[in-house]
Structure 1
Amino acid sequence: MQIGVIHYTNIHISDSSTMLKGRLQFHQELLHFDLLDSDTLTEDEIRTHHGRILQSIQKEDYLLPIHSGIDLTHFFMLEYQLPITLHDTGSLYLPLHKKGNALYDQTKEIASPFCMDQTTSTSEATVHAIQCFFFSHASTTHTYSELLEAAGTMFTHVHGGTFKIELL
């Protein structure tokens, strides 16, 4: 499994705009009908936090807005069909390293396709963050880089700041 990390600096997280809230809600409603028309999610999919979100959407238990950082991360998860997490780097002990399918700081596991450390959650006070993308399906590094660049560009368009990508 390849893990893509986007490092964000000098961002400003706030309450989500009406447009972001609307797009997230609309995307969930469309996905709900797609999931109703498709077969049930596989056991492997349900084990991931992304799969559990899809299972909730299938039951019309939609994600509620939290703040712009989390809401845009949820939008990316639904759009790209990948487990994606967002973490406040002020809560991390850098540098990060990959072990198996998980991402660790110097003290603990912070994210995997199956869980996310709640002690590193972002808030409206977050200024520096990382966003972790867990690529499980076959693709090329070039495609991963393009997806990370597109996500980073959209995230900084909403939150300001700068970003750099890293593949682990």
Structure 2
Amino acid sequence: MDTLFLSTSITETIPDFKIGYITYHDIVVENSPQMVRGRYQFYLETMMMDLEDTELTSFPAVKEWRSVFKTLGADPSRYRPSSEALLRRLKKGSDLPSIHSAADINNLLSLQYKIPIGIYDLDLLVGPITVGIGDESISYQGLNGREVNFNNKLVALDQKGPFGSPIVDSMRTAVTEKTQNAIQIYYIQPSLSSEEAKKLLKASGEMFNQVHGGNFDYGLTMIK
């Protein structure tokens, strides 16, 4: 990957829009070790209890992302940000099964910050990444097994085409236990300052790095 760009179609509509990213190299993805599984389960159970009497829109990041979807032309009640979908599952009392270490940490971070975060196998991506607003011609098979169309929805594309979004990611670039290099895309809420966004990225990279080894770099793409 050369770099990550934002389509002007987004920044003209939402000038403060920003995307964070973290690239990881020489990592080891595996069945989550006991330490991670224990932390994962404890966090989920704690959050389930916290969510019982909590309206999801009381979380500023959830409320803001619903507003972003509306502004860009997508119905947030029909196409939910992935972070809100995770929170709704927990609020209903549904468990989130462990997948592998990378997916589990990714879910934990998304729940912690209440923002959509996607993780992708870097070696399956070609060329620079652009995050833009899709149209009727853009679709892919999601990790949920369904074909998803991205008309009026945020979507990430490389030179091969669309591969990720803040709704559901594609099968094409999914991280597996064979993944050695990866990239996370953080859909930062626009109101968060650049300084706070960079702190969030650094802390997230360090947490992921503690479990998977290797090394990481992070950055923020926005209007200068």
Tell me whether the two structures share a fold, i.e. TM-score over 0.5: yes
Do structure 1's residue 131 and structure 2's residue 184 form an aligned pair?
yes
Percent identical among aligned pairs is 31
Q: Which runs of 4+ in 1 moved over 6 A?
A: none
Query: Structure 1 CA distance, aligned partners of 2:24 and 2:155?
Result: 20
Residue 40 of structure 1 deviates from its aligned partner by: 5.3
Aligned counterpart in structure 1 of residue 43 of structure 2, from 24, 27, 41: 27
The more displaced of 50-59 and 36-45 is 36-45
Deviation of the 1:71 alpha carbon: 0.7
Compare the two structures and name the one with the higher helix fraction. Answer: 1
TM-score (norm 1): 0.91
Counterpart residue type for residue 92 of structure 2: K
Q: Which has the higher contact order (CA 8 A, sep 6+)?
A: 1
How far apart, CA to CA, are the structure 2 residues paired with 1:28 and 1:137? Answer: 26
8 Å contact kept, 2:18–2:190: no
Gaps of 5+ in 2: 1-16, 58-62, 67-75, 134-153
1:17-166 map, 5 Å: 17-39=33-55, 44=66, 47-100=80-133, 101-166=154-219
Q: Deviations over 1:82-116 (max 9, x none)?
A: 11111001211121122244322112222222221
- Residue type at the aligned position of 1:65: S
Alpha-carbon distance in structure 1 between the residues aligned to 2:91 and 2:124: 33
Compared with structure 1, are the counterparts of its residues 6 and 135 closer, same or farther at alpha carbon in structure 2 (3 Å cutoff)?
same
Aligned residues between the structures? 168
The residue identity in structure 1 corresponding to 2:179 is: T
Task: Give unmatched runs, 5+ long, in structure 1.
Answer: none
Distance 2:217 2:201 in 1: 9
Measure, in 2, the Cα distance between the counterparts of 1:150 and 1:136. Answer: 17
Picking from 15, 38, 57, the partner of 2:31 is 15
Q: What's the CA shift for 1:65?
A: 0.8
Aligned to 1:4: 20
- Could you tell me how far apart the structure 2 residues matched to 1:137 and 1:60 are? 30
**Alpha-carbon shift at residue 62 of structure 1 (Å):** 1.3
Shift of 1:163: 0.8
CA contact (8 A) 1:13 1:127 kept: yes
Q: Distance in 1 between matches of 2:93 and 2:40?
A: 13
What secondary structure, in the 3-state scheme, does the structure 2 residue paired with 1:99 have?
strand
Letter paired with 2:178: A
